[in-house]
Amino acid sequence: MSIRVLIADDEPELVRELDRQLRQAWPGLTSIAHAADGLEALRLLEQTQPQIAFLDIRMPGLSGLEVAAQLHQPCHIVFVTAYDQYAVDAFEREAVDYLLKPVREDRLQVTVERLQQRLASGTPMGEDLAALLARVTQMLEPAPVSPLQWLQASVGERIRLIAAAEVLYLRSEDKYTVLHTADGHYPIRTPLKELEPRLDGEHFWRIHRNCIVNARYVQSISRDFRGGLNLSLKGCADKLVVSRSYAERFRPL
């Protein structure tokens, strides 16, 4: 029986090493093709019709999961992954063939024997590959990160916990980000650009490259003599300038 294999991975050294290990573990292989990204992998799968494909989970163009989901011909898929144990458990629960990087020869031998048994018996990879891939993809998605509820600021030798909901605005000043509240301001060392994705985007709006405002406290919006926008906040005497890059958010509907 003529056995054709495709290895798809954007790491050339891994491809060469897996090719070498495969030829050693399975001398009867007819040919092994290589693809450097997901798009090339899909093209070669359609052109060469291999019985087996080793697909890296993370590749440019299309991921290994996306390539497998778009297959229109029978093919036994083995996913190659550098994910942590949690992701490996996801594959095992769904009975999906996988190899963990770096690929160990003894683990590859188990996969080869499993593939040989499936080819000999004519067993397909799965009756509903699309549904199986959807479940695995969902398992591998990172859990959503909850927005910050509290921020820690140094006050002398003490650490003060400040509720995010009480912050009027945050501003970059020198090497610090300063939290402004109704009862004072508190410097923290975390840069504004690192804080932004961890704040609740529904309420915290960037209005300037160095300033994010808590929209719950916006009291009024005014124009200066140049046509620029300024914000007034409840419980705060400061006037905050809105740069032109972020003015669109405050235009009347």
One-character DSSP codes across 61-98: SS-HHHHHHT--S--EEEEEE---HHHHHHHHHTT--E
Strands 4-8 and 31-35: parallel
Q: Which residues of the chain have pLDDT under 70?
A: 1, 83-96, 123-133, 135-145, 252-253
Tokens matching residue 17: 């090493």
The Cα–Cα gap between 212 and 197 comes to 11
Domain limits, CATH 3.40.50.2300, in the chain: 4-140
Domain limits, CATH 2.40.50.1020, in the chain: 150-250
- φ, ψ of residue 206 to 5 degrees: the values are -75, 130
Domain 150-250 -> CATH class:
mainly beta
On the CB side of 195, CA atoms within 13 Å amount to 27
Q: Are 236 and 230 in contact (CB under 8 A)?
A: no
Domain 4-140 -> CATH class:
alpha beta
DSSP 8-state code for residue 55: E
